[in-house]
Structure 1
Amino acid sequence: MSQLIKKEVRVFAPATVANMICGYDILGFAVDSPGDEVFMKRTENPGVVIRSIEGDDGRLPLDPDKNTVSACVKMYLAHLGLEKEVGVEIDLIKHMPIGSGLGSSSASTVAGLFAINTLMGNPLSKEELMPFCIEGERLACGHGHADNVAPALMGGITLIRGGEGLDIIKLPVPQELVAGIVFPQVDVPTRDARQLIKEKVALKDAVIQWGNIAGLVSGIFMSDYDLIARSMQDVLIEPTRAILIPEFYEMKRIAEEAGVLSFGISGSGPSVVAISKGHEAAQKAVDAIQQHLNEQGIECLQFVSKVNVEGPKVLSQS
């Protein structure tokens, strides 16, 4: 396999909501919007080059060894033994904010790996691409976890079971589940958010959390929205991380008044998510939250989306 099958390809990969409020580091789902795009084109000379990055305000490196997209593409080609034969140029188009708690680095990494795999004629399955995605997360934030990259790559809702090896389970998606996302434009670095988390927790709190996770997974399988609402409560991580997010508890009150199933932090924040049955409550919640934040002088972005069950997709190829 010394030549690329395709000449060029454009790929979209979705943003993700990690943790699903109560499932820290083990649950996550993909959304239709926002997401990132990668345009990848074959070149005469071997090697991986980042030609351009749009939408990052100059924050991301063009160095192919330091950018998560190009670094993972290089790992992929080395795995196939083609790093000295294949050359590609990459344009990265960021449609989502960096450091948003929406899996920005994950979406870019997944888009890049899906693009190079498409150019090569898809020799690897999504499951075989996953370890490269996780290495991209390690490069981006120092912790190689899958709660963002798993749903971004696989689509839908994913559960990461701990233990030896990588055990990712796709869960069914209740048809009416909708996420209303608000990104307050404040800085909450993932590394800082992780450092606040306690290494030890009270057994009584752990038992509550275990019950909530089990209830949430059961509710998802049964499309029992009342059970989902009762279960999607976080007693371990949210109380600490909420400190970093301005107006968090006021946003939560507003969302609950709008009639959502649950409200919490997306990933490490500062994005927050109002999860609802149907579009109406989610839209009502994010509109009211945005109005409140604007009144406090905090700019924000909002997105309302059903769960993305497809994951990355090819937008064009030739």
Structure 2
Amino acid sequence: MICKKKDKPGEGEYNKMEELMVAEKTPTFEVKQKSVTVFAPATVANVVCGFDVLGFAVNAPGDEVVMRVTDKPGITISKITGDNGRLPMDPAKNTVSVSVKHYLESIGRSDLGLDIELHKKMPIGSGLGSSSASTVAGLFAAKTILGDDRDPIALLPFAMKGEEMACGQGHADNVAPALFGGFVLIRSYEPLDVVRLPHPKDLWCAIVFPDVDVPTREARQIIRKKVDMKDAVTQWGNVAGLVSGLFMQDIDLIGRSMKDVLVEPVRSMLIPGFYQMREMSMELGAVSFGISGSGPSVFAFTRDEATAQKITEKLQSFLEGMKIDSFSYVSTINDAGPKVIG
């Protein structure tokens, strides 16, 4: 299986990703270690104006997968924690095991026996790429066990299989940043074409998850299928401005560009107090404010950690007054992606 690259790994544009799904001769991967523990990060998808095409990784929260080689061929799941019993133990129905199965088949190692422990360290249904973090951690663990030293880009099609199972559609705006780290643009899905973008190093992210239910599938169904040309032009300008601001390291331009006239006006109705939280955040010095993925999590970019902390504290206090529990996270953009932690 091949992936053509125009530039060096992690910086250039990746083309013809569909070729990764074609069965071709691959090196024979042998077991290099018997067990591994991998962390994969949460992600913010859409990034306000970039619906389905932009996403970035954060340092916290994230998920962990412990994977061990077993004597019996096939994939098993022996333990899942932190999910309150919501995730299936059946390997045929879990996004982690299904993605790993596709990966093993692609490299001719369906004979391998693997046991999976999944430790959810982040809320399910939060809009922070929960299923993506789990899936990427599992794929990276299998890759590590087999000593597969190819670029992680090779795992992306299999991670998207997990997203298809979780959300009904195999979008890459969560799994790509979880897999590569950093800020990622999905330039095209047919063919799949992924670009990693630069970003200001002093850009901080404040995230607040209001503990209310906003299922991803339902959140997609309320989005308009047709838009006015005027709104489309506004959105194109904002996406172009955001990408330009990232390349130019211009935080003011990033802030001016993070406006969504297509999706946010509809999805914001599912998030209690959304516009009040945006006003509070901007008054405290946020560069921008928006919905993370399909919600209900919201996020703000700031220029420093102290401002991000103030924003999370203010928003959590506001939600508490509405009798809504919440979780908060403050982080810079995570450029590492998944990592071995044990």
1:41 to 68, 71, 92: 68
1:253 to 276, 279, 285: 279
Does structure 2 retain, via aligned residues, the 8 Å contact 1:3–1:86?
Answer: no
Find the counterpart in structure 2 of residue 125 from structure 1. Answer: 151
Find the counterpart in structure 1 of residue 211 from structure 2. Answer: 185
| 1:124 positional shift | 3.8
Determine the C-alpha separation between the residues in 2 that align with 1:294 and 1:236: 30
Find the counterpart in structure 2 of residue 305 from structure 1. Answer: 331
1:210 to 236, 248, 255: 236
Find the counterpart in structure 2 of residue 266 from structure 1. Answer: 292
Find the counterpart in structure 2 of residue 171 from structure 1. Answer: 197
Find the counterpart in structure 1 of residue 320 from structure 2. Answer: 294
TM-score, normalised on structure 1? 0.97
Determine the C-alpha separation between the residues in 1 that align with 2:241 and 2:29: 50
Does structure 2 retain, via aligned residues, the 8 Å contact 1:274–1:286?
Answer: no
| 1:211 positional shift | 0.4
1:101 lines up with 2:119 in the alignment: no
1:18 lines up with 2:45 in the alignment: yes
Determine the C-alpha separation between the residues in 1 that align with 2:29 and 2:330: 43
Change (3 A) 1:46 1:123: farther
| 1:162 positional shift | 1.9
Determine the C-alpha separation between the residues in 1 that align with 2:328 and 2:187: 31
Gapped runs of 5+ residues in structure 1?
none
Determine the C-alpha separation between the residues in 1 that align with 2:50 and 2:29: 43
Determine the C-alpha separation between the residues in 2 that align with 1:61 and 1:229: 40
Q: What amino acid is the match of 1:186?
A: V
Does structure 1 retain, via aligned residues, the 8 Å contact 2:96–2:138?
Answer: yes
Find the counterpart in structure 2 of residue 76 from structure 1. Answer: 103
Deviations 1:150-196 (A, max 9, x none): 00001000000125311100000211111100000000000000001
Find the counterpart in structure 2 of residue 279 from structure 1. Answer: 305
TM-score, normalised on structure 2? 0.91
Q: What secondary structure is seen at the aligned counterpart in 1 of 2:232? A: helix
Determine the C-alpha separation between the residues in 2 that align with 1:122 and 1:175: 30
Q: What amino acid is the match of 1:30?
A: A
Deviations 1:61-113 (A, max 9, x none): 00001000011111111111211x21011000000011000000000000000
Find the counterpart in structure 2 of residue 161 from structure 1. Answer: 187
Does structure 1 retain, via aligned residues, the 8 Å contact 2:222–2:266?
Answer: yes
Q: What amino acid is the match of 1:134?
A: M
Find the counterpart in structure 1 of residue 269 from structure 2. Answer: 243
Aligned length: 315
Find the counterpart in structure 2 of residue 116 from structure 1. Answer: 142
Q: What secondary structure is seen at the aligned counterpart in 1 of 2:341? A: strand
1:58 lines up with 2:85 in the alignment: yes
Q: What amino acid is the match of 1:37?
A: E
Deviations 1:39-63 (A, max 9, x none): 0001111110001000000000000
Does structure 1 retain, via aligned residues, the 8 Å contact 2:271–2:295?
Answer: yes
Q: What amino acid is the match of 2:183?
A: I
Does structure 1 retain, via aligned residues, the 8 Å contact 2:44–2:55?
Answer: yes
| 1:3 positional shift | 4.0
Q: What amino acid is the match of 1:4?
A: V
Determine the C-alpha separation between the residues in 2 that align with 1:17 and 1:112: 20
What RMSD in Å do the two structures reach over aligned CA positions? 0.9
Name segments (4+ residues, structure 1) moved above 3 Å.
none
Determine the C-alpha separation between the residues in 1 that align with 2:273 and 2:139: 37
| 1:123 positional shift | 4.7
Change (3 A) 1:18 1:49: same
Determine the C-alpha separation between the residues in 1 that align with 2:190 and 2:74: 34
Q: Share of identical aligned residues, percent? A: 58
Determine the C-alpha separation between the residues in 2 that align with 1:190 and 1:157: 22
Determine the C-alpha separation between the residues in 1 that align with 2:302 and 2:74: 46
Determine the C-alpha separation between the residues in 2 that align with 1:272 and 1:3: 43
Determine the C-alpha separation between the residues in 1 that align with 2:162 and 2:189: 21
